[in-house]
Amino acid sequence: MHSLADLFAPIVDQWPLYLQSFWVTIQLFLISGVASLIWGTALAGMRVSPIPVLRAFGTGYVNILRNTPLTLVFFFVAFGFPYLEINFSFFAFALIALSAYTSAFICEAVRAGLNSVPPGQAEAARAVGLTFFQTLNLVLLPQAFRAVVPPVSSLLIALLKNTTIAAGFSVAEAGTIRSNLSELGYAAFPVLLWVVIGFLILVLPLSALQRWFERRWRVA
Amino acid sequence: MKLRKLLVPVAVAVAGALALTGCGKTGSPTGGGAPSADVTVPVATNVKVDGSKTFQAMTSRGKVIIGVKEDQPNLGYKDPTTGKYSGFDIYIANAIAAKLGFGPDKIQYQPIPSANREQALTNGQVDYYVGTYTINDKRKKQVSFAGPYYVAGQDLLVRADDTSITGPETIKGKVVCSVTGSTPIQNIKEHKDKYGAETREFEKYSQCVDALLNKQVDAVTTDDAILKGYAAQQPGKLKVIGKPFSKEPYGVGIALSDSALRGKINDILDGLEKDGSWKKIYDATLGKSGTTAEPPALERY
């Protein structure tokens, strides 16, 4: 059905659109990825902290955000915030939605990592007089991170793919390529094929990074 | 008071999600109920379309599957409470089915979004498609078209009390909304120097119309047929400018190879325009926005 020329037509004619859209995807991914890692780790700290209010907040946050479909989170942010007269660009709204959602998952992965550290470590840290934050930062988290490289990598890859939801909320990322090109009369299959290849190109370095971290942090 | 204000985004989010999943539709009166007697046409008997594979499939199945839109009031619309379809495109599709020998009880509607139309026709998932389908040369390579049965044009929908926008030359500095990646929004973006408008893109026109009523955007742009449908739905609140600045001939989408069916549907459309059915269908749907239109000349290729 499709000739070779048809397969290459979208990328050959429309590569500026592909580049532009994927660049927005990369920006969404990098910024909300860093934000989710920071906020997710902070949430994990809250969930294991000795302060009940923080624990309750962390638990509530994770359970609400983790169990709400991402599209709903997007709706809440992109259409709900303006009702409260909080107005940012739709790009910023997308960053908020993606980070808020992903950090709930990162939190749980990091918490699992913390639980994998033998309790004796925390007890020893307390015994030598470290405070809770010192225990967490100097003893527990470095060991926890080592354990959570594979699950966190998976979450980041999921985040990368989740960025496509922003297409429905006025952010022109890779998820919009198809609607743009199908309006111009391109067949759906070749258009999407190049989107898939674009995502593969982005995911492969992430996998490489995961392997690098795993090797670097391996316990001899 | 505070709590009420906080609840609004939650309600918006939930309503939005429901709209996305197609479970319900917020704040939309129905776009006309069952077709009134005067927009239905008598069902033909002993219809033959020699050499049409699609027609063969329809007759052996005993049912016709029509690809439609379901979220365009007065054009292609499914009432979420009754499940009934109505609108200009729907009644045109019904009339074609009737002339092919399929009564209302032998019609199955299949809502297909714009981006999936070619694939659905190519795969034979629908027998024909009636839903704001613009005939153009690129698409003609993938599917074939009967018609046009309507010539739409890109236009602007604004709030009824807005006098600052009177046409495409007055949208400089305004915020214009349309569906993600649609031709009208690409047109505004590509000619930024000419129009000078900011753009917003959402998944559905209804989201743009909500944003327009909430004053988050100043205008919604797309084919006037779609806009007229929304204006007819909310009389007194919204108006269509009425200065179309492009030509979008709507055709009936048919599988590429089926020229026999294309010829037959062209004949049917011709008949509908000549016997006055076309006009009745228009007046009962899009005409409710206070506009009139003439059936276009068919393009047989």
> Predicted ipTM?
0.75
Whether residue A104 contacts residue A162, with contact meaning beta carbons closer than 8 Å, is answered with no
Q: Identify the CA nearest to B96 among candidates B291, B290, B266, B284.
A: B266
Nearest chain A Cα to B115, which residue?
Answer: A182
- At B165-198, the pLDDT tens digits run 999 999 999 999 999 988 899 999 989 899 999 9
How deeply is B42 buried, as exposed, middle or buried, from its count of CB atoms within 10 A (0-12, 13-18, 19+)?
exposed
Question: Which of B17, B119, B137 has the CB atom closest to A72's CB atom?
Answer: B17
- At B49-100, the pLDDT tens digits run 999 999 999 999 999 999 999 999 999 999 999 999 999 999 999 999 999 9
For residue B160, what are its two tokens?
């009824």
Strands in B132-203 per DSSP E: 143-152, 154-159, 175-179, 198-202
Note whether B115 contacts A: Cβ–Cβ < 8 A.
yes
Question: Which of B5, B202, B214 has the CB atom closest to A168's CB atom?
Answer: B202
Sheet holding B198-202, edge to edge: B198-202, B175-179, B219-223, B154-159, B238-240
- Give the minimum alpha-carbon distance from A79 to chain B in angstroms, rounded to a whole number: 7
Nearest chain A Cα to B4, which residue?
Answer: A84
**CA atoms within a 13 Å half-sphere pointing along the CA-CB vector of A101:** 26
Q: Identify the CA nearest to B93 among candidates B71, B113, B66, B117.
A: B66
Nearest chain B Cα to A89, which residue?
Answer: B200
Question: Which of A73, A79, A185 has the CB atom closest to B12's CB atom?
Answer: A79
Residue B298 CB coordination number (10 Å): 17
Q: Identify the CA nearest to B94 among candidates B56, B53, B66, B132.
A: B66
- Give the minimum alpha-carbon distance from A40 to chain B in angstroms, rounded to a whole number: 23
User: pLDDT truncated to tens, each residue of chain A (220 aa)?
Assistant: 557 888 898 999 999 999 999 999 999 999 999 999 999 999 999 999 999 999 999 999 999 999 999 999 999 999 889 888 888 999 999 999 999 999 999 999 999 999 999 999 999 999 999 999 999 999 999 999 999 999 999 999 999 999 999 999 999 999 999 988 988 888 888 999 999 999 999 999 999 999 999 999 887 5
Mutation to test the A interface, candidates B139, B201, B213, most A Cβ within 10 Å:
B201
Measured CA to CA, the distance from residue B254 to residue B144 in angstroms comes to 5
- According to DSSP, the β-strands at B128-129 and B64-68 are parallel
